[in-house]
A and B are shown apart, each in its own frame.
Chain A
Amino acid sequence: MLELLDNMGSLKYFLAELWLVLWILVLLIQPLIPRWSSAKISNCLAVLALIGAAGLVLALPVQDSRPTLFFGMLALDGLSRFFKILFVFSTLVTVLMNLRGQEVTDHQKPEFYAILLGILLGMFLTAASMDLLMMYLSIELFSLGSYILAGFSKNENRSDEAAMKFLLYGSLSTGAMLFGMTYLYGMTGSTQLLDIREYLAASGTGQTVFFVAFLLIFVGIGYKISAVPFHFWAPDVYEGSPSVLVAFLSVASKAAGFAAFIRLFYTTLLANASEGIWTPFVDFDWRAFVALLAMATMTFGNLGAFRQENIKRLFAYSGIAHAGYILVGAIALTTAGVESILFYLLTYFFTNFAAFAVIVYLADRHSMETIEDYRDLGKRSPLLALALAFSLFSLIGVPPLAGFLGKWYLFAAAVQTLDPWCIAAVVVGLLNTVLSVYYYMRIIKAMYLDHLEAPPLLKPDSVLVGMAVVLSIPVVFMFFAAGSIYEWTRSLSYFLVS
């Protein structure tokens, strides 16, 4: 069933990545030619590049044989396909939000897009990597790009601070991850995930060193998904970075972290025994460990959001809490758990980008970033307020919005295992959902119940208002097609060892 493709044979499945490399080079050259150097042309090039990449990803064959590319470096399976689709559309939405933005100035745009495409390339590789070195390099590729873009507002001290904190915390946690990977390599003698899996299946029990190794690797991945206690960077980075980048990070970076998590932990640590239930090779209880972290992540995320006045900081804590919810799906250790993670990330994509279309519009065009600034938005711009309100209700998990469906599948998958840790995590998750109502409702209250005497006018911006509306349509109406969308994620949830 497994098929190793050699380098030349792999290239035809690697076209999307090669295409991205080509456009990164084009976007670097474009501003150097005086006649082509306008921001409009870089906008067009970036959109073209992403539409092409989306086409190439969608055209990847879905087949029963599961080839690994470049002698087992990259996987070509449903999981990588799902995440690549998610990443490429996240980037497309981010570029569209940035078309007329001012936080990233016109002469910065070509560089911004080139680095953004570089991040996308790194995420593509992360979703597919089947080798520790490949995984480390691709995670670094997209992290380094994010560090640069976080400091892109050069005249703002906040942005410098964000980039600095992002870089320092990031290098520490990826250093810890690399250290863990060296342990794995030292114990098993291979960097290939499938070889490590074989070793652990044969003699994984009774060796404490594997617990240390996976703990250290989880530090790096936990940083990417902003799980407690590796979440300290999130509020400062979200507050200081350009808003479009925050929108991108909040969805794509988190999804990339979960891609690495599923790929690494499910491939190496678990045997797919029967009926979709995965059993661990090792005898340390990492389910309990991740369950505790998930509960802490939800609780600290929600408590942290309580007193935030800046809306981007609030969304940072909201993102932390949601990382906790998604981890509940990861500890179910069932195929249904993996499916529900993918489905949740899909609902989170629509919900968060719909909210961020509004946030980017107000922060970028009007420097409105605090909850106080959002007062009376319901009258000043009914469409934007409605879109934001729906996505906030969806983040709370009010039925029948998309966020509710996502949480439903996640918690259902965890409860079905009847494992005490999973059930405890679900109970804490439900309590946290109730907690989160408070701070999401504060924004809604400001928008609809606080009235201003003479509210300042908002400049119309058809692109961002349009995007907020278009993205919130699936948030509201996903209910009607939930079954078939879930079937779609189910069809893409298979990966090399499942």
Chain B
Amino acid sequence: MYEQYAHVLIFGMIATVIVVAPIVLFALIRPVRPSSEKLSPYECGERPVGEPWVQFNIRYYVVCIIFIVFEVEVLFMLPWAVVFNAFRDGGQNLQAAAGELKNLQGATGLIVFLEMLIFLVVLAVGLAYVWAKGHLEWIRETTKGPELLD
């Protein structure tokens, strides 16, 4: 019963050989002349400036998360808007496609509209929360200490 896995094993072995063989081969035949230019990290041809371990402001992450929330919102609304047209007359046009769209049976235009409205209200609460907590303002007082940052 294990024969079917032989393909996987052979694939793994060939992959390993293809990766390891050039490294070993080139290590044996190439000349070794290191210089500071060669050993410096590659940064798109620029001369590297500063350490790689710089600290980012945590607020980038907050802004990033807020951005993703709205991006997902649009991503979700687009297919909804496309399908919504079929529901305006109470879903009669859907009868033909009912087999494929069984999840949509019994839904009318009003319900489909309300569903999206609920989704938007939930997101709006999130936006209100972020706004009231001051995460949308980039320049903030920091004199109050860590309390402000949470």
Contacts and interface: CB of A to CB of B under 8 A. Distances in A.
A126 B109 CA distance: 31
Contacts of B102: 6, 71
B96 interface: no
Interface string B122-150: 10011011001100000000000010001
A206 B2 CA distance: 10
A154 B146 contact: yes
A8 B111 CA distance: 9
B106 A29 contact: no
A28 B105 contact: no
Nearest to A71: B103
A32 interface: yes
B107 interface: yes
A484 interface: no
A208 interface: yes
B64 interface: no
Contacts of A63: none
A32 B132 contact: yes
Nearest to A111: B150
Interface string A1-17: 00000111100000000
Interface string A204-241: 00111000000000000000000000000000000000
Interface in B79-138: 102-103, 105-107, 111, 121-122, 125-126, 128-129, 132-133
B1 interface: yes
A29 B128 contact: yes
Contacts of B107: 7-8
A9 B107 CA distance: 11
A154 B145 CA distance: 13
Contacts of B106: 6-9
Nearest to B104: A7
Main secondary structure of the interface of B (DSSP, over half): helix
Contacts of A21: 122
Interface in B49-92: none
B101 to A, nearest CB: 11
A481 interface: no
Contacts of B1: 206-208
A202 interface: no
A169 to B, nearest CB: 22
Nearest to A8: B106
With a 10 A CB-CB cut-off, give which of A7, A21, A29, A208 has the most chain B CB atoms: A7
Contacts of B105: 6
A25 interface: yes
A208 B125 CA distance: 49
Nearest to B111: A8
A352 B9 CA distance: 49
A32 B103 CA distance: 38
Given A8-B111, A71-B102, A206-B1, A28 B129 contact: yes
B125 A29 contact: yes
Contacts of A155: 146
A209 B95 CA distance: 41
Interface string A24-36: 0100110010000
Contacts of B133: 32
Contacts of B5: 208
Contact of A32 (B122, B128, B146): B128
A205 B31 CA distance: 57
A207 B107 CA distance: 43
B2 A208 contact: yes
A387 B129 CA distance: 42
A71 B102 CA distance: 9
A368 B129 CA distance: 36
A7 B103 contact: yes
B103 A25 contact: no
A71 B104 CA distance: 11
A108 B146 CA distance: 14
Nearest to A28: B129
Contacts of B146: 154-155
Contacts of B121: 25
A108 B147 CA distance: 11
A155 B145 CA distance: 12
A29 B128 CA distance: 8
Given A29-B129, A32-B128, A206-B1, 18 more contacts: A6-B102, A6-B103, A6-B105, A8-B106, A8-B107, A9-B106, A21-B122, A25-B121, A28-B125, A28-B129, A29-B128, A71-B102, A71-B103, A108-B150, A154-B150, A155-B146, A207-B1, A208-B1
| Closest CB pairs A-B (n = 10) | A32-B132, A8-B106, A25-B125, A28-B129, A206-B1, A6-B105, A6-B106, A28-B125, A154-B150, A29-B125
Interface of A: 6-9, 21, 25, 28-29, 32, 71, 108, 154-155, 206-208
18 contacts: A6-B102, A7-B103, A8-B106, A8-B107, A21-B122, A25-B125, A28-B125, A29-B128, A32-B128, A32-B129, A32-B132, A71-B103, A154-B150, A155-B146, A206-B1, A208-B1, A208-B2, A208-B5
